[in-house]
Structure 1
Amino acid sequence: MCLRIVFLSLLALLLSPVHAATLDARWQALEGLQADFVQVQRDVDGVLLAESAGRFVLQRPGRFRWDYTEPYAQTIVADGVNLWTYDPDLAQVTRRPAEQALQGTPAALLADRQALTTTFEIAPLPSEGGQDGWRLTPKTDDGEFSRIDLWMQAQTPVRMVFADALGGITEIRFEQVTLNPALTGKAFRFDVPAGVDVVDIQ
């Protein structure tokens, strides 16, 4: 096992610049995305904490919509200016400046067109089932995650695994993916439902 780890570490060191350029080329070609998603969270011991599912729509730069449908409804919308989070069960919406709220988050990674090499050290992971993988390690420690594993099939993101500073893991799998769909601004406009309180957070 030790020899395997040493070998993979050496391979990553040797191939990292090439793979980083390959990943950046694919990543920056991504203009939009529409997919179903499954999100699984586990603690440091691998114990399941939560599992959720829903629909995701993205248009770069800076606009996305997460519609959680399981186990309960929640909508998160970034319209390019504000980040809206709507909890129907609470009849409440929170509104925050998007740039501030998204800094260092997985959503920011997806929504940003910036080259990944700007903020991450990138190393290849072994391919799995025709999917190419990379490990992204932040160059600074001011984000929410200590590493991000990203898997793509050709130009399409299919899986992301985020490890936080406490060892917890969040995995997001994308299914029924449409790459660069035709979207309008209406997809990212959030209209506050009647009778729902809006809480502004700065």
Structure 2
Amino acid sequence: MKRIAIVIMLSLFAGVMMGGLAPASAVTEAEKTIDTIIAGVESRYNVTGFTAEFDQESILKAMAVTDTASGRLMVRQPGKMRWEYLVPEPQTIITDGRDLWVFRPEENQVMVGKAPAFFGEGKGAGFLSNIKTVRNSFRISLETADDPEFYRLRMVPDKASADLIEVKLDVARESFDVVRIITVNVYGDETRIELKNVDFTATPSESLFRFEAPAGADVLQMNP
């Protein structure tokens, strides 16, 4: 430790002898823009909760299959989410930040698991329920969006997994609303979620983020 300290001091002394310390690396314009976007998103989503409608498209590259779905999303900070799929068939995914329930009413089936395994580290758009994790959990770069009204952020998780190797966010330039989320797994499969009619004035009730299995339901345990 002492040797390291001496080396640092010698370096500083050399800088002074050469007319002062060398300036720190300048922050690039892209880094400034990214910081502005993230700060705008953090401010926009600094609410107790919100609701939205969503359209989802899941693309399995190897099989050349595309599935679509739509429904409603409810979020309450921190960590609570409720995805109500209405099309093509009803299904509800609920988490209180710790536990996870997937209810399929037509089959009267409930699958139970732990939230971090399915919504942790950016999976399942889980960062929407705690937006500050974006800054702390991803390496972020700026890309050109398909629509000039949006910013596009490419986010690579610090802890990549087979389920998630990158996320792309399209953010509205004027409002800083997150309008599109694209997640990619190690196989190149993509899930695209578009958020619509986001309402930041409607805070969902706490009771919406817990679930009790209906009488006679088939309850299955999910493994991570």
**Above 0.5 in TM-score?**
yes
Aligned to 1:8: none
1:121-132 paired onto structure 2 within 5 Å: 121-127=139-145, 128-132=147-151
SS in 1 for 2:41: helix
Residues 15 and 123, structure 1, Cα contact 8 Å, conserved in 2: no
User: Are 2:213 and 1:171 equivalent residues in the alignment?
Assistant: no
After superposition, give the CA deviation of every residue in 1:64-120 in whole Å (9 maximum; x if it has no partner).
100111111110001233111111232111122223442231232222233423221
Q: How many residues align?
A: 190
| Counterpart residue number, 1:5 | none
Between the aligned partners of 1:46 and 1:173, the Cα distance in structure 2 is: 23
The one-letter code matched in structure 2 to 1:35 is: A
Report the Cα distance in structure 2 between the residues aligned to 1:143 and 1:167, rounded to whole angstroms.
10
Q: Given residue 137 of structure 2, which amino acid in structure 1 is its aligned partner? A: T
User: Which residue number corresponds to residue 35 of structure 1?
Assistant: 52
CA distance 1:168–1:155, shift in 2 (3 Å):
same
Superposed CA deviations along residues 33-80 of structure 1, whole A, max 9, x for unmatched, are 311111111233794421111111111211010011111111000123
Alpha-carbon contact 1:41-1:50 (below 8 Å) kept:
yes
Match of 1:52 in 2: 69
2:21 corresponds to: none
Query: Is 1:185 aligned to residue 202 of structure 2?
Result: no
Partner in structure 2 of residue 119 of structure 1: 137
Amino acid at match of 1:26: G
Structure 1 distance, partners of 2:112, 2:215, is 16
Structure 1 residue 129, shift from structure 2 partner: 4.2
Aligned residue type for 2:135: T
> What is the distance in 2 between the residues matched to 1:134 and 1:183?
28
TM-score, scaled to structure 1: 0.82
Contact 2:125 2:181 (C-alpha < 8 Å) held by counterparts: no
Q: Which amino acid aligns with 1:121?
A: R
2:168 corresponds to = 149
Matching residue of 2:216: 195
Alpha-carbon deviation of 1:181? 2.4
For 1:140 and 1:65, the matched residues in 2 are separated by 25
Give the Cα separation in 1 of the matches to 2:166 and 2:87: 26
Q: What is the Cα-based RMSD across aligned positions, in Å?
A: 2.3
The residue identity in structure 1 corresponding to 2:96 is D
Q: Is the 8 A contact 2:110 2:217 kept in 1?
A: yes
Q: Percent identity?
A: 24
Look up the match of 2:91. Answer: 74
